[in-house]
Amino acid sequence: MAGQMFMRVAEVAHELGVSEPYAYKLIRELNEELKKTGCITISGRIDRKFFYEKFYGTRYQNERKVD
């Protein structure tokens, strides 16, 4: 899935270690934030780069620092 532009709810839930209903809630909140900037969003999906910026301060998964 790493080559896809959007993350689906199952991937978000797995990445964060949360339930799928909570992942849907997070995706809705993030999509609302994107809509305010004029972006078009897709329900149940979140832009991968935006997700990693918001949760890890990076643009890509492989930039995360593991201590």
Structure-derived torsion over alpha carbons of residues 26, 40, 63, 13, reported in degrees to the nearest 10: 30
Half-sphere exposure of 30 (CA within 13 A, CB side): 25
Please give the Cα distance from 60 to 40 (Å, whole number).
21
**pLDDT tens per residue across span 28-64:** 999 999 999 999 999 999 999 999 999 888 766 666 5
| Locus of tokens 């990076």 | 58
Predicted TM-score (pTM) of this structure: 0.78
Neighbours of 55 (CB within 10 A): 14
Asked whether the beta carbons of 19 and 13 are under 8 A apart, the reply is yes
